[in-house]
Amino acid sequence: MHSLSQEIQGFSKGRLKKQCTRVTTVMGRTLLERRGDGGEVEELEEEGGCGFVEDKSLDLQVSHVLNVAYGVTNLYADQLVYKTLQILDLPDTDITSYVGECSSFIDGAREKDGVVLVHCNAGVSRSTSIVIGYLMLREGLSFDDAYGQVKLARPSIRPNPGFHQQLQSYKP
């Protein structure tokens, strides 16, 4: 049995097995590459590449957008159904007063098998507060459970302190 130090001393680069790496270029070409003894890359062969198809479809087939930002325009009004409520991200804004109207829009989209994107400027305070309120109102979740579900889906959530406190005491 050899010790590790004996193995290291007996190591020789020539005993290493040559490895090949399959590389797919941005244009879809597939190459087999191997490093030469001097470290240079040797291209061994090219396989038939299939290329790629750019997917311009919207993720999750979003059909409806609930825009709760202030001053953000709706860019795809010809392709999506929008509802815009210009909500200020201030602790003294009564966020719970918007939950009912927003929930009705979300429900209407869901009845048509639609998918709703709820957005504000950064996706941190207003939109997440509306979704938390929706889960409390429609799904009967407690604040902690609703907050936890939204946080799982979007870890960067951070409702401002006023929204946080309002939602904690929200009784739908």
- Establish whether 120 is a catalytic residue: yes
Per-residue model confidence as pLDDT tens digits over 81-91:
999 999 999 99
Q: How confident is the model at residue 11 (pLDDT cuts 50, 70, 90)?
A: low
Query: What is the CATH code for 59-168?
Result: 3.90.190.10
The DSSP code for 51 is -
Average pLDDT, the chain: 85
Per-residue model confidence as pLDDT tens digits over 44-99:
666 555 545 555 555 568 999 999 999 899 988 999 999 999 999 999 999 999 99
Which residue, 97, 105, 107, 95, is CA-closest to 139? 107
Residue 126, classified by CB atoms within 10 Å of its CB into exposed (0-12), middle (13-18) or buried (19+), is buried
Q: What is the pTM of this model?
A: 0.66
Spell out the domain ranges in the chain: 15-53, 59-168
According to DSSP, the residues that pair with 41 across neighbouring strands are: 35
Per-residue model confidence as pLDDT tens digits over 112-138:
999 999 999 989 999 999 999 999 999
Report which secondary-structure segment, H or E, holds 83.
strand 81-84
Angle at 151 between CA 110 and CA 96, to 5 degrees: 60
Catalytic pick among 20, 50, 102, 120 = 120
